[in-house]
Amino acid sequence: MRRAGLKITESRIADHDDKAAMSEALTRLYRAASQSVSEIVADLTASERAKLAVFCYGRVHLNTIGLAIAATCDLDHLVVAAQSTTAGRTIFTQSREATSAEKPLPGRRAPVSLATSASRGRSLQALRLQTELSA
């Protein structure tokens, strides 16, 4: 039975170049406190991005980054990079869900909400109620 999908030619030179490009991108991702993931992987080919996404997804400390990279990939490249239809589809689906939920990336702080804002809301409601009652 023959599988339909992307055909990737095996080449030692291409494989070495892929690893070098992915290694450089991975180094930049580790240091990416202020840069966005999409800027870092923009120069990689679709195949390289998919391989890097699968690599990062498989590591707990890089899982979120892997999903962010996977969001820039198409399903076919992720399936080939993961060497599994199920794994490629899972990463693809989770990456689309993660981008819609907009989870903060590691190293970035989530916005802080202060409890005083909730109490201000109650005092405004009480003030409005008093104004309505006295009118």
Assigned domain for 41 exists: yes
Tell me the C-alpha to C-alpha distance, in Å, between residue 39 and each of 1, 35, 116: 40, 7, 37
For the question of whether the overall pTM of this predicted structure is more than 0.85, the answer is: no
Assigned domain for 28 exists: yes
Instruction: Give the residue numbers spanning the domain of 100.
Output: 12-109
Assigned domain for 133 exists: no
Percent of the chain with pLDDT over 90: 33
Assigned domain for 21 exists: yes
Q: Each residue of 3-21: pLDDT tens digit?
A: 455 444 454 555 667 788 8
Dihedral sign, Cα of residue 64, residue 69, residue 74, residue 75: negative
Assigned domain for 50 exists: yes
Q: Each residue of 56-85: pLDDT tens digit?
A: 999 988 888 899 899 999 999 999 999 999
Number of structural domains, the chain? 1
Average pLDDT across the chain, whole number: 75
pLDDT at 8: 47
Assigned domain for 95 exists: yes
Closest CA to 78 of 56, 46, 114: 46
Among the ranges 2-16, 40-54, 112-126, which has the highest mean pLDDT value? Answer: 40-54
Assigned domain for 42 exists: yes
Assigned domain for 1 exists: no
